[in-house]
Amino acid sequence: MSTVTTTVALEHRSPVRTLGWAVPALVILLALPFVVDQYQTILLAYGLVMGIAALGFNLLLGYTGLLSFGHSAYFGVGAYTVALMVKYLGVTSMELFLVGAIVACVLVTAVFGIACVRYTRIFFGILTMALSQVLWSLAFKFFWVTGGTDGLRVPTPTLLGLVTGKGDKIAFLATAYYYYVLGVFVICTLVMWVIVSSPFGRALQAIRDNEVRAEFVGIQIRQYRWVAFLVSGVFTGLAGALWVPLNGLTTPDIMHWTFSGEIVFMTVLGGFRSFTGPIIGAIVFNYLKTYAVGYTVYWQLLLGVVLVVLVLSLPTGIVGTAERLWARWRAR
Amino acid sequence: MDIVVIHALNALLYASVLFLIAGGLSLIYGVMRIVNLAHGNLYAFGAYVSAWVVGLLVARAPEGASPSTVLLLLLLPAGAVAAAAFGALLEPTLLRPFYKRAEEYQLLVTFGLLMIIDDVIRWLWGPYPLSASVLFENFGSLGIGDAIYPTYNFLVIAVGALAAVFLWAFIYKTRFGVVLRATSQNMRMSSALGVNVNRVYVQAFTLGCLMAGLGGAIIVPSQSAVLGMGVDALILSFIVVVVGGLGSLEGALLGALIVGVVREAGIAWFPEIELAVLYLIAAAVLLIRPAGLFGRA
Amino acid sequence: MSASVPSPVLLETRKLLKQFGEFRAVDHVDFRVQEGEVLALIGSNGAGKTTLVNLISGLLRADAGQIIFRGADVTAQTVHQRIAAGIARSFQLVNLFDQLSALDNVALAIFSRQGKTRKLFSLADADRPVWDEAMAVLHLFRMESKARLSAGGLAQGERKLLDVAIAYALKPRLLFLDEPTSGVSTREKAPIMDTISSVVRSERISAAIIEHDMDVVFSYADRIVAMHQGTILADGTPDEIRRNERVLTTLIGTPETRG
């Protein structure tokens, strides 16, 4: 392999090589609840959920070249859809929640997307942020619907019509729900992998690299960006729906733009130039934040310093840096 | 009738402070093409420093007596000076390495900065609100018809108006203003013509931070400094600059007035959707006139 | 090619106009391309050549006038529609997908041509016919050894060729090439033009080439159109252009004014 080809970083072209990483990783994720305690398992479930959100987000940032500062909106739409389905419809089925979240996110992203994909760069960022803040302020102010800052409580759902969380909630979250999340995570990862490896995914990368040229190979840029926006938002919304039962409560905080900032943070932490980067970043960020919050009231300071140092010295993130070190080690 | 006057004054009050914050944000973007997400925190920093200084004076004053209003007024701009000094420190150390990098990285580093400054404020001044209300109270209030209105608020409005006039003169009537405008038009060209771009950048950034800090300093006597005020202010300033046009000072002024009026009207008549209406206005302006009402395309 | 056998008109512009403020970059231009010919567009910088190509390819919108391609009015069509109709182009400043490999660059054009870029749920890499075709295109342009290299890492001459290869992969009827040899050394110009010329002629694609190098123009073009200040100054075979006084004085005689 030539040294130049390693700059073609985004796609791991051989499915076999990808599987070589994915299978052991999946085995570890399957076995982990038997090894670590319930708290750790639940923490990992949070990480996987955020992994789905970041994966969706990165379809825009890493593959389409659009930095959204408003993905908290879609996460929140997913979460609030679940909470409102509980509150007004008395639904308990997790599958219905997921379907509801997808439908709601398609509707919201379809409308937001029409506006947002007309812009790129900083204007895209500001517009996505402004629109997400609209939803945040509605969730915040319409307390008789959304519970305002108190949020809405969500009981443990029924999984596949079989498993309920009656009784020991923690045990439910650490076993049945963990595997449920893992299942959805695996499906989402596979679907996203297919999307970025599809001709459509290639077209997005082309748009990212060179908008004008992409147009002159016949790609209708806005349409493609809109579809990417939709898919991206739906993934993040799905993550929001999965997140609510874990948290037991949804508050407007998850709609605030600073939460969007966290999604950007975890994606860059893992490395937005690689497919697995956002997943790794989300899991690591989740641990980092959880422990930082537990360790000091100044956790924001800690994370802020991590972010600044990261951007200054490791712009390719964990995965990008690991790949570079791995390549260097193999070259010896 | 009186109530309309009160509402109008409140709208002007908001607009004054917002103009200072958003004008700073816009100035920095106009010259350096950087959107500083930590800008709101510099406003918060200014508010905290001023409140802290006022608090020190009050603590030193003899029992029962209040420190002199004149002295307090003279020391109030301490927050603006502190924010400017902070900015002068930040630009060369943290931002300069990023001018040649992609926008994403610039946004991220300022987002990290936002988190850091938030906690630095918490560490320095604790989690409780810091008040400088003594100054606000010393000014008393004025009667407007049957209603009364705090005299101090007139001062805030005056400072906002003065700042706008001063900035206009500064940008359009001084040599430095010419250099600033030239650099914002074309950084490479200015550099080729012998302008020290690094110096212009640090000056512009410092000036922008000074404005944010001044906004914090003048508002803190009437509203205590609280955690989270920076993030809220940033979002409102975004609306202002999006409406007015990123990089335009006239736009920031107009945007601040619009946001001030809508906010005041919203609080009075449609409190539930006041913020939503503001964000929707911003989104609508972006859609109809992407460069803002005063922006360059 | 002699003018005795008139080939059908492929593209025609009628009183095409583009203004930038007061400046008429393209001033009521009537321009024709015939089936199967290789045409050179010459003229000094600012003569309106690139603007004309930008108008026909859809990068710019015309202020007035018509563009007729294969008998249909395409003036109001989008870039996408014009490409589907058979108009493709390359760029003066090379325009590639730098992070993708050379092969990916060409394959993308093929996927797009076949409407497959609308597919979200199929693996691009599994589509053998597309990759075979992409490889064949690179072979035609003598670049198969560079297939796996990222486009950003190629030499300037190779980038120029790849740019043309991408446009060619769209299977156009009419190909616009905006200075395909600019920015490469004189030594490289002939091989690049030989490659392009052989591909275009063997596939009977009509080509319009913007070119400053008169040696290139006279050796490869069937017909030459000279532009000056937004209008067409002269139109004829290389021999006719060589003898044209106005062209000689305004263009060829003053090489130092050329960019």
- What's the per-residue H, E or C state across C214-230? HHHHHHHCCEEEEEECC
Mean residue pLDDT of chain C comes to: 85
* Residue C253 confidence class, pLDDT cut points 50, 70, 90: low
Assess if residue B110 is contained within a domain: yes
Residue B260 predicted with pLDDT over 80: yes
CB-based contact A225:C116 (threshold 8 Å):
no
- Position A3 scores a pLDDT of 33
Give per-residue pLDDT as tens, C121-136: 888 888 889 999 999 9
* Residue B289 confidence class, pLDDT cut points 50, 70, 90: confident
Contact A130 B242 (CB under 8 A): yes
Give per-residue pLDDT as tens, C103-124: 999 999 999 999 888 888 888 8
* Residue B296 confidence class, pLDDT cut points 50, 70, 90: low
Assess if residue B183 is contained within a domain: yes
B85's tokens: 């000094």
Assess if residue B104 is contained within a domain: yes
Phi-psi region of C185 (alpha: psi -120 to 50; beta: other; left: phi over 0): beta
Give per-residue pLDDT as tens, A42-100: 999 999 999 999 999 999 999 999 999 999 999 999 999 999 999 889 888 899 999 99
Assess if residue B173 is contained within a domain: yes
Residues of A in contact with C111 (CB under 8 A): 199, 202-203
Assess if residue B132 is contained within a domain: yes
Residues of A in contact with B283 (CB under 8 A): 115, 127, 130-131, 134
**CATH code of the region A13-257+272-280:** 1.10.3470
Domain extent for B60: 15-229
Locate the chain C residue with the closest alpha carbon to A220.
C80
Give per-residue pLDDT as tens, C186-199: 888 888 888 888 88
Q: Please state, in angstroms and as integers, the Cα–Cα distance from residue C153 to each residue in A5, A205, B199, C99, following that order.
A: 9, 17, 36, 9
Assess if residue B264 is contained within a domain: no
Region C41-45: mean pLDDT is: 85
Give per-residue pLDDT as tens, B16-42: 999 999 999 988 888 888 888 999 999
Which amino acid is it at C121? Answer: F
Residue C100 predicted with pLDDT over 50: yes
Region C57-73: mean pLDDT is: 90
CB-based contact A150:A251 (threshold 8 Å):
yes
- Position A244 scores a pLDDT of 94
- Position A4 scores a pLDDT of 34
- Position A324 scores a pLDDT of 85
The percent of residues above 70 in pLDDT, for chain C, comes to 94
- Rounded Cα gap, residues A317 and A62, in angstroms: 12
* Residue B64 confidence class, pLDDT cut points 50, 70, 90: low
CB-based contact B105:B98 (threshold 8 Å):
yes
Label residue B93 exposed, middle or buried (CB < 10 Å: 0-12, 13-18, 19+): exposed
A215 at interface of C, judged by CB pairs closer than 8 A = yes
Residue among C78, C111, C159 with most chain A CBs within 10 A, to mutate: C111
In 3D space, the residue among B112, B121, B106, B127 whose CA is nearest the CA of residue B216 turns out to be: B121
Residues of C in contact with A198 (CB under 8 A): 119-124
- Rounded Cα gap, residues C229 and C223, in angstroms: 20
What is the CB neighbour count within 10 angstroms for residue A196? 22
Beta-bridge mates of residue C33: C11
Considering only CB atoms, A8 lies closest to which of C59, C78, C101, namely: C101
Task: Provide the pairing of β-strand C23-34 with C38-42.
Answer: unpaired
Collapse the DSSP code of C175 into the 3-class scheme (helix H, G, I; strand E, B; otherwise coil) and give the result: strand
- Position B275 scores a pLDDT of 81
Number of domains in chain B: 1
Phi-psi region of C36 (alpha: psi -120 to 50; beta: other; left: phi over 0): left
Measured between CA atoms, how close is C58 to chain A, in angstroms?
Answer: 9
A7's tokens: 């700059």
Considering only CB atoms, B242 lies closest to which of A121, A126, A299, namely: A126
Locate the chain B residue with the closest alpha carbon to A115.
B287
Residue C62 predicted with pLDDT over 80: yes
- Position C252 scores a pLDDT of 61
Please state whether at least 3 CB pairs lie below 8 Å between chains A and B. yes
Q: Based on C-alpha coordinates, what's the Rg of chain C? A: 18
Locate the chain B residue with the closest alpha carbon to A61.
B104
Contact B231 A265 (CB under 8 A): no
Beta-bridge mates of residue C12: C32, C68
* Residue B295 confidence class, pLDDT cut points 50, 70, 90: low
Region C157-166: mean pLDDT is: 89
What is the CB neighbour count within 10 angstroms for residue B17? 28
Region B165-188: mean pLDDT is: 82
Residues of C at the A interface, defined by Cβ within 8 angstroms:
57, 59, 78-80, 83-84, 88-89, 91, 95-101, 104, 107-109, 111-113, 116-125, 127, 148-150, 152-153, 166-167, 170
Low-confidence ranges of chain A (pLDDT < 70): 1-19
Helices marked H in chain B — which ranges?
2-32, 39-60, 69-75, 78-90, 103-125, 133-139, 151-173, 175-185, 187-192, 197-219, 229-244, 249-269, 274-288
Does the ipTM exceed 0.90? no
* Residue B1 confidence class, pLDDT cut points 50, 70, 90: low
Assess if residue B19 is contained within a domain: yes
pLDDT-wise least confident of B109-113, B122-126, B129-133 = B129-133
Locate the chain A residue with the closest alpha carbon to B267.
A141
- Position A18 scores a pLDDT of 66
Residues of C in contact with A7 (CB under 8 A): 99, 150, 152-153
Q: Using alpha carbons only, what angle is made at residue A79 by residues A73 and A84, rounded to the nearest 5 degrees?
A: 115
Domain ranges within chain A, ordered by starting residue: 13-257+272-280
Residues of A in contact with C116 (CB under 8 A): 199
Non-local CB neighbours of B240 within 8 Å, separated by 6+ positions: B18, B19, B21, B22, B252, B255, B256, B258, B259
pTM of the model: 0.86
